[in-house]
């Protein structure tokens, strides 16, 4: 076929498949053995962080010029997907490192990039993203956190809610209002450090799933930071936040793919071994139809996610992809993959019957973990609004 097609742009290369094999082997050996314990105890998956850092998989998106692997968007998706296949909480390490640092990559000064991306690439620090507030969730432009200029500094006051990996991350991209009269165009972005005076954290939320990834409120009480920690120009923070989400919603789709794949893999093995009425339950047509639907939804979600990753890469590189095109595909991938993951994990629990409902088997954890993918980085109701406004 003459010319380039979208399929050519997102088909995994041999290098991508080699990466998948290596990440899967690492995840099964170093992360999977602790997944149930991490969930049961609600503790941070330190073993996963150590393994990912040791293999340079904790923040593969960081450009080579700042000491990172310089992985493309599809490679990042594959890393998150394969880690999520065994432990969704652990997959939030590479996913949120990208979410937190991408505003710096997209809009930060060279000085800011060198200062904060290099430690992230080395594994010396993690990055979180502070957008949502108690009264500003889907309506992020309604945030109240303020940043007031004072000479060569800004003074931040406010609270951010639902911050993933809060308290563990060293760096935080924080959106704050610098001009209350301009609504979204009066919001600016800053890098705040965990050690800055006046930064503190709430108690970990008691969640349905992803229990190994701490979710806390972050408080800013007269936090004074240098003006050169602003990401981009004053008033451009909200635009940067939205551009970031166009890219990182694809990583949530990747997480959903991994969770769903883990559930499908486990269910396939179970129905081949579990016998009723004298034969494996996988021989019954009703079970076969369920597995077929699960696999079909998963593969459709994967193709959409990989297509979105190709668009993410083109937009990041400033090539021929349009931002509006990415906005639709990013929202569509996140929405479809997370809905599919919820359906697939629910069916996996059903296929295991009573065993699926117990913590002795991993599918109930996967079902609980899948739910958040329909909610964070924009609920799926919001994704449908985004898609409708950006129809290709």
Q: Distance (Å, rounded) from C-alpha 12 to C-alpha 369? A: 26
Instruction: List the catalytic residue out of 81, 133, 217, 377.
Output: 377
Q: Is position 377 annotated as part of the catalytic site?
A: yes
Half-sphere exposure of 45 (CA within 13 A, CB side): 33
Nearest to 252 by CA among 304, 207, 188, 214: 304
Mode of pairing for the β-strands spanning 215-226 and 187-193? unpaired
Catalytic residues: 377
């Amino acid at each position: 076929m003459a010319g380039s097609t979208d399929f050519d742009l997102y088909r995994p290369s041999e290098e991508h498949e080699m990466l998948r094999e290596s990440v899967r082997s690492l995840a099964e050996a170093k992360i999977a053995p602790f997944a149930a314990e991490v969930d049961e105890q609600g503790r941070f998956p330190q073993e996963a962080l150590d393994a990912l850092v040791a293999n340079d998989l904790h923040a593969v998106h960081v450009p080579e010029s700042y000491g990172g692997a310089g992985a493309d968007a599809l490679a990042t998706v594959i890393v998150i997907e394969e880690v999520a296949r065994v432990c969704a909480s652990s997959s939030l390490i590479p996913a949120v490192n990208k979410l937190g640092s991408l505003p710096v990559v997209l809009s930060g000064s060279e000085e800011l990039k060198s200062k904060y991306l290099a430690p992230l690439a080395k594994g010396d620090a993690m990055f979180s993203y502070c957008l949502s507030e108690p009264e500003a969730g889907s309506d992020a432009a309604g945030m109240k956190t303020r940043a007031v200029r004072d000479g060569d500094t800004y003074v931040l006051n406010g609270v951010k809610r639902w911050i993933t990996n809060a308290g563990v991350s060293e760096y935080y991209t924080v959106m704050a209002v610098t001009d209350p009269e301009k609504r979204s165009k009066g919001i600016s972005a800053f890098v705040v450090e965990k050690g800055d005076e006046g930064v503190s954290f709430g108690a970990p939320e008691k969640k349905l799933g992803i229990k190994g990834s701490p979710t806390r409120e972050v408080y800013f009480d007269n936090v004074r930071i240098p003006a050169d920690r602003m990401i981009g120009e004053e008033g451009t923070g909200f635009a940067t936040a939205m551009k970031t989400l166009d890219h990182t919603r694809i990583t949530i789709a990747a997480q959903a793919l991994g969770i769903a794949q883990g559930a499908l893999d486990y269910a396939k093995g179970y129905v081949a071994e579990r016998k009723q009425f004298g034969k494996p339950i996988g021989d019954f047509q009703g079970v076969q139809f369920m597995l077929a639907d699960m696999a079909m939804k998963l593969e459709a979600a994967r193709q959409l996610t990989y297509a979105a990753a190709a668009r993410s890469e083109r937009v990041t590189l400033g090539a021929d992809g349009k931002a509006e095109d990415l906005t639709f595909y990013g929202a569509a991938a996140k929405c479809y993959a997370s809905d599919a993951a919820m359906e697939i994990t629910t069916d996996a629990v059903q296929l295991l019957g009573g065993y699926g409902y117990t913590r002795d088997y991993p599918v109930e954890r996967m079902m609980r973990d899948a739910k958040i993918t329909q909610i964070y980085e924009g609920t799926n109701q919001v994704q449908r609004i985004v898609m409708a406004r950006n129809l290709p």
